[in-house]
Amino acid sequence: MGHNTPSADRTKTLEDNSATFLITDMVPQVPSNNQQTWAGLEDHTRNLAQAGNEVYVIMGSYGVEGAGSDGTKNTIDNGRVTVPSMIWKVIMVIPLGDNYVSRVTENTRVISVNTPNINTVNSSWGGYRTMVDAIEAVNGYDLLTELPDDIEARLESKTEKGPTF
């Protein structure tokens, strides 16, 4: 299992951290994806925040059938929990300040990652970058809707190529 909101991101209070261990904050994520690929992306996101940025993170999953250390599974917990085939995350990075929408421009860094939920996933998340539009197309969500339409369209239609350290 993996956390939607990482435990390490909610350490200010015991109550905040405990909430990350509720089943509503969990996704059936195979070990190498969780412990390598996503751990690297989560560390990168924390580094961006610690460097004086504000980060907005949206994540989810879709599809059926993950392939972990116990083999391929469609469900766990006697069929009550679906194991997704893909796990995605969208991270918007903006400078600190008030009114976040006013700080977003067409040059704002938006990192979109979509990884297969398999144990042979590449440990480097950078190779799984994609457009927000592609993530929206497979899951039916409309992300970044608070932004002005022209900026939203520009940000959602490009694949971010920035550093992955």
Distance of alpha carbon 63 from alpha carbon 29, whole angstroms: 13
| Tens-digit pLDDT profile for residues 56-86 | 999 999 998 888 777 888 888 888 888 899 9
pLDDT score recorded for residue 99:
87
Which H or E element spans position 3?
Answer: strand 2-3
- Maximum pairwise Cα distance, the chain: 47
Cα 74 to Cα 151: distance, rounded to the nearest angstrom: 38
Which residue, among 105, 150, 163, 155, has the nearest Cα to 135 in the 3D structure?
A: 155
Whether 3 is catalytic: yes
Among 1, 138, 155, smallest CA distance to 93 is for: 155
Helix (H, G, I), strand (E, B) or coil at 55: strand
Q: Are the C-beta atoms of 112 and 93 separated by less than 8 Å?
A: no
Q: Which helix (H) or strand (E) holds 45?
A: helix 39-50
Of 103, 163, 157, whose CA–CA distance to 131 is shortest? 157
Domains, in order of start, for the chain: 2-156 (3.40.570.10)
Run of H or E residues at 68: strand 66-68
pLDDT given at position 77: 86
Catalytic residue among 3, 10, 44, 89: 3
**pLDDT < 50 regions, the chain:** none
